[in-house]
Amino acid sequence: MIPNEAQAFPAPAKLNLDLRITGKRADGYHNLESIFCLIDLCDTVYLKPRSDDLIILHTPTGGIPPEQDLAYRAASLLQKHTNSKSGVEIWLDKKIPTGAGLGGGSSDAATVLTVLNHWWECGLSRQQLINLSATLGADIPFFLFGKNAFAKGIGEQLSPIDIPKQWYVVIKPKAHVSTPKIFSHGNLTRNSKPSIMPTFQSLQPFRNDMQAVVFQEYPEVWKAYCELSEYGSTLMTGSGACIFLSTDSRQEANNIYQQVSQSYEAYCVEGLDIHPLFQMI
C-alpha cells in the first residue's frame, strides 16, 4: 500500500527509432548511434522523504533484491556522491514492460535522480547528473537529458534532434531478450558507418543493427515483427523485445492497435517532445 503522503512522479518510456553499432571499444562496450524518442507510456515513481538516511525500495522489479534495482541504486549513488544525510522511500507502479527495450528501469532511475537532486538540495547540474548516471546504465543519461536526442558513445553523448509529431503502435511478444547475449553474439553487426550530420531525415531509412540477431535467437520476436509489418514499416526498439511502427495520426495508430491488441500485449502511444520533469533540474 502506497501511503497518501508519498508523491507521484512520471517516468516515461523511450523508443530507439534508429540504432547502429559503429564499433567495439577496448573496455568491451560498444559504440552506438541512436535516435532516442520519449513516449507517453509511463511508470509512476512514488517517493516519500525520510528524516534519516535510509533508502527503502518497497517494490523491487521482477523479484530481484531491492539493492540491485536501478531505482534504489540511483538513490544510493546520489546519496554517496553528494554525502547527503537524507533518505527516501520508493514505490514503483510499473506500466512499462521489462526486458522490452523501452528503458523502463532506466527511466525510473532517472526520475529518482531528478527528484532527489531537488529534494536533497544536492545542486547537481543536468550534465553532472548525466555523467553520474552513466556509471549505472547506458539509457539513464537520455532520460536526464530530457529531450529527444541523437546519442553516441555508449549513449551518454547526447544532442537534441527534431522528430515530427508521431503516434506509435508498440507490441510486446512473449520473450525476454538478454542484452548481454545479443551484444556478445558473433553475428552482430558492429561496423556501421558513423553519421556525419545526423538528422531525422538524413538517417532514413531507419534500422536497428541488433534486430537480425534477436530475430535469429528469439523466433517470437521475429513472428511479432512479421505480423506488425503487415500494417507498415516496422522496427525493433533497443535490444528488444518490443516491436513498433510509427504513424502520422492518432486515428491510424489506434486502428492498428485495435487489430494487434487482440493477439499481443500492445500500446498506442504518442511521441513526446520533452520529459515531464525537465524543468525540475
Task: Render the burial of 6-23: b for 16+ CB within 10 Å, e for the rest.
Answer: beebebbbbbbbbbbbbe
Q: Which of 224, 227, 254, 228 is nearest to 241 (CA)?
A: 224
**Residue 91 belongs to what H/E stretch?**
strand 87-93
Q: What's the pLDDT score for residue 66?
A: 92
Confidence of residue 22 (pLDDT cuts 50, 70, 90): very high
User: With contact defined as beta carbons under 8 Å apart, do 72 and 87 qualify?
Assistant: no
Cell of 119: 529534494
Q: Which of 35, 7, 252, 280 is nearest to 150 (CA)?
A: 35
Say whether 101 counts as a known binding-site residue.
Answer: yes
Q: Which of 209, 207, 236 is nearest to 101 (CA)?
A: 236
Res 28 pLDDT > 80: no
Q: What's the pLDDT score for residue 196?
A: 80
pLDDT digits (tens, 9 = 90+) for 102-148: 999 999 999 999 999 999 999 999 999 999 999 998 899 999 999 99
Distance CA 226, CA 243 (A): 10
Is 172 labeled as catalytic in the residue annotation? no
Q: Which of 84, 87, 82 is nearest to 72 (CA)?
A: 87
The mean pLDDT value of the chain amounts to: 95
Considering 14, 147, 152, 172, which one is annotated as catalytic? Answer: 14
Res 238 pLDDT > 80: yes
Torsion sign over Cα 143, 149, 153, 157 = negative
Domains along the chain?
A: 7-160 (3.30.230.10), 167-270 (3.30.70.890)
Considering 18, 139, 172, 209, which one is annotated as catalytic? Answer: 139
User: With contact defined as beta carbons under 8 Å apart, do 57 and 47 qualify?
Assistant: no
Distance CA 188, CA 240 (A): 14
Say whether 238 counts as a known binding-site residue.
Answer: no
Identify the three-state secondary structure at position 219. helix
Distance CA 79, CA 50 (A): 13
Distance from first CA to last CA of the chain, Å, rounded? Answer: 29
What's the pTM value of the predicted model, to 2 decimals? 0.95
Confidence of residue 63 (pLDDT cuts 50, 70, 90): confident
Whether a cis peptide bond, with omega within 30° of 0, leads into 241 is yes
| Phi, psi (rounded to 5 degrees) for 237 | -100, 140
- Residues 223-248, mean pLDDT to the nearest whole number: 96
pLDDT digits (tens, 9 = 90+) for 177-231: 888 898 889 888 898 999 888 899 999 999 999 999 999 999 999 999 999 999 9
Dihedral class, residue 62 (left if φ above 0, else alpha if ψ from -120 to 50, else beta): left
Is 93 labeled as catalytic in the residue annotation? no
Say whether 17 counts as a known binding-site residue.
Answer: no
Confidence of residue 267 (pLDDT cuts 50, 70, 90): very high
Say whether 102 counts as a known binding-site residue.
Answer: yes
Confidence of residue 160 (pLDDT cuts 50, 70, 90): very high
Confidence of residue 276 (pLDDT cuts 50, 70, 90): very high
